[in-house]
Chains A and B, each alone.
Chain A
Amino acid sequence: MRMGTGYLKAGVAILALTSGIAVGAAAQAKPLEIATDASPVGLDPHVVTSFASILVTKNVYEGLTAIDDSLNVVPALAKSWTVSPDGKTYKFSLRDGVKFHNGEAFTAKDVVASINRIKDTKTGSPLASRFTVISEAKEVSPTEVELTLSAPSAPLVSQLADLAIIPASAAGGGADLQKGAIGTGPFKFQQWVPDTYILLTKNESYYEKGLPKLDGLKFNIVPEATTRQVGLSSGTYQMLPNIDGALALTLKSGSSVNVLETTDLAYSLVGFNTTKAPFDKPQVREAFNYALNRGKLVDAAYFGLGQPAGPLSPALKDWAAPTSDFACYKTDPVKAKALLKEAGFENGVEVTLNVLGSVQSVVDAAQVVQAQLTAAGFKAKLNVQEQGAFIQDWRNSNFEAFVSLNGGGVDPDDYFTRTFKTGGSTNVYKYSNPEIDAKLDAARASNNKAERQKIYKEVQVELACKGPIAHLGYANLFTALGDGVDGYKILANRQTRYLRETTAK
């Protein structure tokens, strides 16, 4: 009998545990069910800038400016702005009557506090280097802000779209923004259940009349592509944002699913360490480019849903140079071998490529690259890494070469200066070319678009073949919408601005 009570107790304990299975809030107004593969790591818009975080935070926070579906800069929290003739003083006049989600009124103080917080080294913001050019942010009146720059900066207004305005009270540490979010945007942060979902609800007092149209957004974290696909087709989920070609192709064949398509600003790349053999020799980098057949690579790794291009995405129509401008984009293994010989590798060369293992399209592309290199005398070894290991090696420039996927900006300067300028903040390639440095500075200082276009064209031609990066291709980007979801527009920069205009049945 003693044993009997033992069983009973165990049974009671188990029952007690299972009755606690409730997770999350009770049913309320119906949010749009969005399924995404990756979970954000923190929500502080000044610290975490991964796609997974931005997907959520961009609906809660806004910048002074915003980027629309044609990648143009449009007003957001700033109604309008003026630039002084020397390009060093910007005056922003702010929208009136805007309230943060915690009820505080939005004023010039919040703008100043946000800019200062990003620039503060204690914040550790990856965006800081973009705004070091701002030497002072000053409140002129509650609805007017003046920014003084140390040098003219053409990309500033487009970059300000990524500078989330937070309440001044939170900037000083009044709230932990990694764990919650207080912005001015169309949706309010409601709840975060790690690795499960993040729930945003409608901001009833949003300043744009009639927006947002949805009751809320629920970002479900669903790692398996099959589960997301079936979930969308069967109606459990209503939207799969920013998916790749493989998933989009399967979904397109289904009936009640609507797939939107654009060219991605993000690009897959092979990056070279220019201070380590063998890629320290420009000829070896050029040979690598000649060895690639980018058309076939796009066919094999992206199912043909993409296009080969140079250092800038073809989505940046005003800036990107056509691939016909780049000599090394014509596949030529013989020329590649000759270049290798010139560099002293007569019998071919062995190289190791680190591969970002957490993104399937990157692994696929790396395998195609590996195969294509063989004909040109490269013996490539792939080192597929877990993302933590990859990131660590990347940051320490501990690689001969790597294959990865990078997000792009809407102004060429964004990408070029931090990546290719000597000492640039993401120049892990340790590339240094005084001629390129001078050109990038000149383009940044100019407010004349035609002049900038001319300079960037020269920069692209030089970088495409001998630079520290072999740009592989720009995949098409897709967003799948379920039955009855309307009004959404897909953006090349992967942002979900148009969720505020979306409706759902």
Chain B
Amino acid sequence: MYRLLARRGADLLVTLFGVSVITFLLIRLVPGDAVQIMLGANAEVTPERLNALRQQLGIDRPIWEQYFTWAGGILSGNFGSSLWTGKPVIEEIGARIGITIELTLLSLGLAVIVAVPAGVAMAYLRNSASDYVVRILTIAGVTVPSFWLGSLLIYLMFLFFPKYPAVGYVPFTDDPWGNLQRMLLPVIALSLPVLAALARITRSAMLDALGQDYVRTARAKGASELTVVMSHAWRNALIPFVTTLGIMAGYLFGGAIVVEQVFALPGLGRLMLGAINERNYPLIQAAILFVTSAFVVINFLIDLLYVAIDPRVSLK
């Protein structure tokens, strides 16, 4: 356990170092720096003025020097401040992360709650009419882009329930009911592709398990169908399911950027997108490091889950 933890910790450090260098360089390779974006096209500026502004923001120095100043700051716990609001980036990220976590967890929850029974039922009733219908629906679900689905849901909701508060954002702590009302559509838009993918993987994993000898044995010894499906087959189908779950956590985060944009939710995704558009360097860098760490941690948790699910897997 501890050895695995240490190895993962070392992995994380190497990954973070690589990601930090790449992010730092990439965002500066994009044409148009913070000052240019700030002034926009058609502003009257001389080169001297551009330089004066760059100096104010500290982006006039050589790239390597900027990198080491920044990296040195991180080692002492200082991630820098947002170029435009001046607040520490940690504060900015902290204020927004909750919304993204709420959105992702609700979506993941919805996806699992619907996908597992649907997948199991599809496998159990394979090649029946309902299996075909659900399979077609899941293919549609996997291929529909969330931004399109999001806009469509807003429209439909407005068409049928014009007074439903479909857009805008209310903090959960101010108005829990209003918050959940407004979360409904984004959660559906974000979870549908995940739900479809999970249902499909559940179906194929269950089909696989139901064909195994131990299922025949279980039936032969007189176990009820429910026990056969849920304790014998499903338990074995869990491994591929959990693997997909880990990959989907990554998808959910990418999807959240798009969905937050469509529904104007002030989450981490919009913060990052805005920061990229405005070349808010310290914020982009810190946010990407944060997301990278979250991924590594999630994958570590998934590894631990394997152990819990499958006694043959050990932590050695």
Q: Interface residues, chain A, CB within 8 Å of chain B?
A: 2-3, 6, 10, 14, 17-24, 26-27, 39, 41-42, 47-50, 121-130, 176, 178-179, 192-197, 220-224, 226-227, 230-231, 233-237, 356, 386-395, 404, 406-407, 418, 425-426
A426 touches B44 (CB 8 A): yes
Give A225's nearest chain B residue, CB to CB. Answer: B151
Contacts of A192 in B (CB 8 A): 85
Q: Is the CB of A14 within 8 A of B101?
A: yes
For residue A314, give the distance in angstroms from its CB to the closest CB of chain B.
Answer: 20
Q: B interface vs A, CB < 8 Å?
A: 1, 30-33, 35-46, 48-50, 52-53, 56, 82, 84-86, 92, 94-99, 101-102, 105, 151, 154-155, 157-158, 162-169, 171-174, 261-264, 266, 270-271, 273-274, 277-279, 301, 304, 307-308
Residues of chain B lying within 8 A (CB to CB) of residue A233: 158, 162
Judge whether A391 and B41 touch: CB under 8 Å. Answer: yes
Interface centre among A19, A121, A196, A220, by most chain B C-beta atoms within 10 angstroms, is: A196
Residues in A neighbouring B301, C-beta threshold 8 A: 10
Closest Cβ neighbor of B161 among chain A residues: A234
Complex Cα–Cα for A462 and B162 (A): 54
Is A22 a contact of B52 with CB atoms below 8 Å? no
- Checking A17, A123, A179 against B52 with a beta-carbon cut-off of 8 angstroms, the contacting residue is A123
Between B31, B95, B274, the greatest number of chain A beta carbons within 10 A of the residue's beta carbon is seen for B31
The answer to whether A22 and B84 have CB atoms under 8 Å apart is: no
Asked whether, in the complex, the Cβ of B167 is within 8 Å of the Cβ of A195, the reply is: no
Q: List, in ascending order, chain B residues with CB within 8 A of A125's CB.
A: 49
A and B contact pairs by CB, cutoff 8 A, 18 listed:
A3-B307, A6-B304, A17-B98, A20-B97, A21-B99, A22-B173, A23-B95, A23-B169, A41-B37, A47-B38, A49-B39, A194-B271, A197-B266, A222-B264, A231-B167, A234-B158, A388-B31, A391-B36
- Residues of A contacting B37 with CB < 8 Å? 41, 387-388, 391
Question: Is A178 touching B31 in the complex (CB atoms < 8 A)?
Answer: no
Known: A39-B278, A226-B154, A236-B167. A418 touches B44 (CB 8 A): yes
Residues of A within 8 A of B151 (CB): 224, 226-227
Q: Are B53 and A195 in contact (CB under 8 A)?
A: no
Bound together, the chains give a CA A235 to CA B271 distance in angstroms of 26
- Chain A residues closer than 8 Å to B169, beta-carbon distance: 23, 196
Q: Which residues of B contact A126 (CB under 8 A)?
A: 39, 43-45, 49
A466 to B262 alpha-carbon distance, docked (Å): 44
* Complexed CA–CA distance, A395 and B37 (Å): 11
Instruction: Give the chain B neighbours of A196 by CB distance below 8 A.
Output: 169, 266, 270
Total A-B pairs, Cβ < 8 A: 207
| Residue pair A48, B174 in contact (C-beta under 8 Å) | no
Identify which of B101, B162, B266, B308 contacts A23 (C-beta below 8 A). Answer: B266
Task: Report Cα–Cα, A389/B277, bound state, in Å.
Answer: 11
Q: Contacting A195 at CB < 8 Å: which of B42, B271, B307?
A: B271
Do B105 and A389 have beta carbons less than 8 Å apart? no
CB–CB B40/A50 < 8 A = yes
CB distance from A306 to the nearest CB of B (A): 19
Query: Do A230 and B158 form a contact, CB below 8 Å, given A124-B45, A179-B86?
Result: yes
Q: Are A194 and B36 in contact (CB under 8 A)?
A: no
Are A194 and B165 in contact, with the CB atoms below 8 A? Answer: no
Cα-based distance from A386 to B39 in the complex (angstroms): 15
- Are B168 and A220 interface neighbours, CB within 8 A? yes
Q: Give complex CA distance A407, B40 in Å.
A: 11
Partner of A127, one of B40, B44, B168: B44
Residue numbers in B under 8 Å from A50 (CB-CB): 38-40
Closest B residue to A394 by beta carbon equals B41
Interface centre among B43, B102, B163, B169 (most CB of A within 10 A): B43
Chain A residues in 8 Å Cβ range of B1: 2
| Beyond known contacts A41-B278, A195-B274: 10 more, CB 8 A cutoff | A17-B101, A18-B105, A20-B94, A21-B171, A21-B172, A179-B85, A230-B167, A236-B168, A388-B32, A426-B43
Residue pair A223, B264 in contact (C-beta under 8 Å): yes
Given A124-B53, A126-B39, A234-B164, do A392 and B98 touch, yes or no (CB 8 Å)? Answer: no
> Do A23 and B96 touch (CB < 8 A)?
yes
Q: Is A124 touching B52 in the complex (CB atoms < 8 A)?
A: yes
The residue in B49, B101, B261, B304 that gathers the most chain A C-beta atoms within 10 A of its C-beta is: B49
Q: How far does the alpha carbon of A192 sit from the alpha carbon of B82 in the complex, in Å?
A: 13
- Minimum C-beta distance from A265 to chain B (A): 13
B274 neighbours in A (Cβ, 8 Å): 39, 194-195
Please name all residues of chain A whose beta carbon is closer than 8 Å to the beta carbon of B35 when the two chains form the complex. 124
What's the Cα separation between A48 and B57 when bound, in Å?
14
Given A121-B52, A230-B155, A393 and B31 touching (CB < 8 A)? yes
Which residue of chain A has the shortest Cβ distance to B301 in the bound complex? Answer: A10
Residues of B within 8 A of A122 (CB): 52
**Residues in A neighbouring B92, C-beta threshold 8 A:** 194
What is the bound-complex CA distance between A42 and B95, given in angstroms? 19
B299 to chain A, nearest CB (A): 13
Question: Which residue, of A121, A221, A226, has the highest number of chain B Cβ atoms within 10 A?
Answer: A226
CA of A48 to CA of B1, assembled, Å: 54
**Docked complex Cα distance between A433 and B278 (Å):** 37
Q: Is the CB of A193 within 8 A of B46?
A: no
Q: Which residues of A contact B264 (CB under 8 A)?
A: 220-224, 227, 231
Contact A124 B56 (CB under 8 A): yes
Name the distance in Å between A451's Cβ and chain B's nearest Cβ.
26
Q: How far is the CB of A112 from chain B (nearest CB, A)?
A: 21
Contacting pair B44 A129 (CB below 8 A): yes
Cα separation A50 to B95 with both chains bound (whole Å): 27
Contact flag A392-B32 (CB < 8 Å), given A196-B266, A227-B262: yes
With both chains docked as a complex, state the minimum distance between the C-beta of A318 and any C-beta of chain B, in angstroms.
23
The answer to whether A20 and B98 have CB atoms under 8 Å apart is yes
